[in-house]
Amino acid sequence: MSSTVLSQFRALGVSPTLVQALEKGGLVEPTPIQQLAIPPALAGKDVMGCAQTGTGKTAAFVIPMIERLAEGPKSAPRGLILAPTRELAFQIQTTITKFGRARGIFGTTLVGGDDMQAQIRGLRQRPDILVATPGRLLDHMWQGTVSFAKLQIVVLDEADRMLDMGFAPQLNQIIEALPLVRQTLLFSATMPDNLGDLARISLKDPVKALVSKSATPAEGVTHTLHHTVSSDKTPLLISLLKETKDSVLVFTRTKHRADRIGETLEKIGHRVAVMHAGRRLGQRRNALEGFRRGRFQILVATDIAARGLDVDNIRHVINYDLPNVPEDYVHRIGRTARMKATGWATSFVTEEDVRSLRAIERLLGKAVPVAPGSRPPVVSHAAHRRPHSHGTNGNGPRGPRPNRPGYGSGNGPGGPRSDRPRRNQPGRGPRPSSYTF
C-alpha cells in the first residue's frame, strides 16, 4: 500500500525526500484540494483555492512552498503566510516544522500578544518562511525589522475570514509593500463577493482549485437544531453533555457568555477550557492544547475557534448561540467530521434567532433538521418585524457590527492591540516607503 500511496504524491510533483517526510508525518494520501493546488503551485503559478474546512488546505500550500524554497539562498525570508488568527498561525508553523526539516526549510511566527523582542531574535535567524497575523506583521514593518526584498511566495490563508475580521486595510498596506514579481496563493473556505477584489489586486492569472460549494457542510456531519428559549439554553446544554463522554466544542456569540458557561460547567464537575480574543495568548494556547490532548473534554469558544483549528476527534459541536454570519455556521460545524470522519452538530434556536436560522438555511439550500422531541415555538409577528442583535443584518450585542465588508473597509476584532486592524494613530507618522521591492 505504501508505494502506491507514495506514488500519488510523487505524481503531483513532490520530491521523494518530502514524500517520505509526509508519510512519516501521517499524510499518506493527497486530498482533493491538494491534488488540484499542488501541481500548479509547484510550477510557480498563482493559485486561488476553495475547499471546506478540514480538507487539508494548509498542506496544499505548505508542501509546494517548501519544495520551491528548498534550493534557494538562505539570506532572507522568501516566503510569507498571512493568517487571520494566532491559533491558525501557530498551527501553520507546526506544519512547516514537521515537513520542512526534510528539505532544510524552517519558519518563524509573528503574532500579536507574543514577545516582540523574541520575534526579532527569531527574524535574525534568517528564517525561510514568515507566518504572521496582519496586525503584528505591520508592527514589524513600521519598526523595519522585516525585509521583503527576497520574497518569492505569498500565501493568504483563510482570506475570507481576514476580510470578515476587518483586516482589509492592513492587507492593502502589506500587499503594496510586496515585490511586484512574486507567486501568490490565496486559500479560502468561502468565496464571498468581496474576495474577488482582493484576488484581483493580489493574483495574476490564477489557476482555480475549487473543490466544492463553499456552503457545503462536511458529509459526515449530522446536524440538528433544538427550539428553546434563552433561559433554558444552559439546562439544555448540561442535559446534552450528560449524554456524551466525547470531546465537545461549544460556540457562543460573546466573550462574556463563554466565560459564564465555562464557569458553570466547571462548577458541576466538567473538564472545561475557555478560548476567546479577550484571553491572553498563553491562556488561549493552553486551552487549545489541553483540549487537543484530552485534558479538557469541553472547549467553550467564540468564533475565534471556527476556522482552521486542527483538533482530531471532536465528536460534537454545539452552537449555544447561532453565528452572526451565516457562512460561519458551516465553519463551526466543520470542526467535527474532519477528514472523512463522522460527528454531530446541535444548534440552539430561540424565537429571536428566526432570521439568522432562515439565512443559514438559504445558504445551505435546505432546512436544518429539528431534533426529536423539539417543537418550534409560535413566532410572533413582532419578532419578524423587529431587527435584533444577531440577525443577518450583522448587528452584534453591543451595537452595530460591520456588514461583511467590501474590500478595504471594516473594523477589526478585539484582543491584543497588535492583532487589531490598524487605525490612524497619533505619532506614528506616514506609512514607511523605504521597503526594498
Between the ranges 123-137, 296-310, 315-329, 419-433, where is the mean pLDDT highest? 123-137
Q: Say if residue 374 is exposed, middle or buried (CB neighbours under 10 Å; 0-12, 13-18, 19+).
A: middle
Query: In sequence order, what are the residues at sequence separation of 6 or more whose Cβ sits closer than 8 angstroms to the Cβ of residue 212?
Result: 50, 51, 52
Domains annotated for the chain, with CATH where assigned, are 2-210 (3.40.50.300), 221-385 (3.40.50.300)
Q: Residue 230: what are its φ and ψ, rounded to 5°?
A: -55, -40
Mean pLDDT over all residues of the chain?
83
Confidence (pLDDT) at 402: 39
Structure-model confidence comparison of residues 407 and 214, the more confident one: 214
Render 120-143 in DSSP notation, one character per residue.
HHHHHT--SEEEE-HHHHHHHHHH
**Cell numbers standing for residue 72:** 534557494
33-73 pLDDT, tens digit each: 999 999 999 999 999 999 877 788 999 999 999 999 998 77
Q: Residue 129: what are its φ and ψ, rounded to 5°?
A: -130, 135
Cα-to-chain-centroid distance, residue 421: 17
Q: What is the DSSP letter of 422?
A: P
Confidence (pLDDT) at 54: 72
Give me the sign of the Cα torsion angle 349, 354, 359, 361: positive
Confidence (pLDDT) at 228: 95
147-200 pLDDT, tens digit each: 999 999 999 999 988 988 889 999 999 999 999 999 999 998 878 778 888 999
Percent of the chain with pLDDT over 90: 58
The structure's pTM equals: 0.73
